[in-house]
Amino acid sequence: MRRLALFLGLLLWPAVALAAFDAETLPDPRQEEMARAIMTEVRCLVCQGESIAESNADYAADLRRLVRERVAAGDSPENVKAYLVSRYGDWVLLKPPVKPETYVLWAAPALFLGLGLLLVWRIFRRRSPKEGA
Amino acid sequence: MSLGRKLLVGLPVLVLLALVAVSFVYLGRGGSSVAPSALIGQSAPQFDLAGYDAEHPGLSDVDLRQGSVTLVNVFGSWCVPCIAELPQLRALAEEHGVTIHAIAWKDKPEKMAQVFAEHGNPFRRIGMDNDGRAAIAWGISGVPETFVVAGDGTVLYRHLGDIRPEHIPVLLSVIAEAQKQ
C-alpha cells in the first residue's frame, strides 16, 4: 500500500512541479489556458528535450512571459508560434510542421509499422500450414 | 531456410546497421542538434538596449545599419566560454579592426567590470538585455553566440558557442566577404 502511494506520488510529481513555476499568470482564465497550451508546444532551447511549460530554466521563464504577453495582447496561438518560428526556425516547435522536408519524418512511423506487419504476416503464413499438418 | 526467408530475417539487422551508420556519421559532425539560425539573410531584429557605461553606450538595430560590418556577441560574465573567447574577440578587434558589439544577457555591471578588468574589453557598444527580450528576438539558444552583420543590417552568419583560435579564419573570411557587398 505504501509502495503504491509512493508510486502514485512520484507519478504526480511532475504535475506538482509544473504548477509551482510562475508567480504571474494572466487574469483571464481563458487566455491563461490558451497561453499554457502554446507553452506545451514550444521547445525549451536550453534544455532541448522539454517544452517551455515543463522547464524551470530562466530562459523558459522568459519565453513563457513572452507567450503570456502576446496572448494578453490578443495574438492567436498561430501568431505567437509564427513569431517564435521566425526567430528560431521550425525547430522551436516540438511538433515539426508537415511540409516537403518533413514528409519522410512523418511517414516513417507508418512505413516501419507496415514493414513490421509485412514481416509478421509472412512468418505466420509459412508457419501455420506446418502446425495444421 | 530459403534465400528469400534469409533475406527477410536479415532485413531488420541491415536496417539497424544502416541506422547505426547514419547516426555515427551525423553525431560525429557535432553541433548538428542545433538548427541554423532562422535570421540568416534577414535584417537584424528590432531591439534597443540601454548601455553599460559612458564608454560603451547602448545597442539597437540602428547601430547595425551604419554601413560597416559588425559582430554582435551575446555575452554573460557568468558564462565561462564567454570569458574564454575574450582573447579571440580582442584579437579580432585589435589586430583585424573588427567592430564588435555585445548584448549582455541578464548581466550585472559590477560582475562584468570584474571580468573586463581581468580579461580586457573588446566591445564598442554594450547593450544590457536585462529582461532577456533581445536574446529572444535574436533567437539565442545559449551564450555565447556571435553574429556577423553586414553594413545594411543583414544577418550573415552565426557562430554558436565560444570562438576558439581555429575559428578566426572562417570568421575573417565571412567578414571580408561581407565588406565586399
Name which of A46, A62, A89 is nearest B142 (Cβ-Cβ). Answer: A46
Residues of B in Cβ contact (< 8 Å) with A122: 8
Burial of B8-38, coded b for 16+ CB within 10 Å and e otherwise, reads beeeeeeeeeeeeeeeeeeeeeeeeebeebb
Mean pLDDT of B141-168: 93
Please count the CA atoms within 13 angstroms of the CA of B148 that sit on its side-chain side.
Answer: 20
How far, CA to CA in Å, does B66 sit from each of B60, B149, B154?
11, 11, 11
pLDDT of residue B125: 97
In the predicted model, what is the mean pLDDT of chain A?
A: 84
- List the domain boundaries for chain B: 1-33, 48-180
Residues of A in Cβ contact (< 8 Å) with B141: 45-46, 88
Tell me the three state secondary structure of residue B154. strand
Q: Per the structure block, which three cell numbers stand in for B22? A: 547514419
d(CA B159, CA B136): 16
Between A103 and B122, whose confidence is greater? Answer: B122
The yes-or-no verdict on residue A119 having pLDDT over 80 is yes
Residue A126 at interface with chain B, using a CB cutoff of 8 Å: yes
In the predicted model, what is the mean pLDDT of chain B?
A: 90
Mean pLDDT of B143-161: 94
pLDDT of residue B8: 79
Tell me the three state secondary structure of residue A19. helix
Sheet holding B70-75, edge to edge: B59-60, B48-51, B126-129, B99-105, B70-75, B145-149, B155-160
Contact A62, B131 (CB under 8 A): yes
Q: Which segments within A1-125 are labelled E, that is strand?
A: none
The yes-or-no verdict on residue A132 having pLDDT over 60 is no
Judged by CB atoms closer than 8 Å, whether chains meet at A87 and B137 is answered as yes
Residue A103 at interface with chain B, using a CB cutoff of 8 Å: no
B15-29 tens-digit pLDDT: 999 989 888 877 665
Q: Which residue has the cell 543583414?
A: B154
* Complex confidence, ipTM: 0.73
A residues 19..38 contacting B (CB < 8 A)? none
Q: What is the pTM of this model?
A: 0.75
Which 8-state DSSP code applies to residue B62?
G
Q: How confident is the model at residue B81 (pLDDT cuts 50, 70, 90)?
A: very high
Q: Per the structure block, which three cell numbers stand in for A47? A: 534544455
The yes-or-no verdict on residue B32 having pLDDT over 50 is no
Q: How confident is the model at residue A17 (pLDDT cuts 50, 70, 90)?
A: low
Long-range contacts of A54-57 (CB under 8 A, 24+ apart): A54/A14, A54/A18, A56/A17, A56/A21
Q: Which amino acid is at B25?
A: V
CATH of B48-180 among 3.40.30.10, 2.60.120.10, 3.40.640.10, 3.40.309.10: 3.40.30.10
Residues of A in Cβ contact (< 8 Å) with B11: 119
Residues contacting A32, CB < 8 A, separation 6+: A25, A26, A68
Closest-CA distance of chain A to residue B38, Å: 5
Tell me the three state secondary structure of residue A44. coil
B35-60 tens-digit pLDDT: 568 899 999 999 999 999 999 999 99
Q: How confident is the model at residue B93 (pLDDT cuts 50, 70, 90)?
A: very high
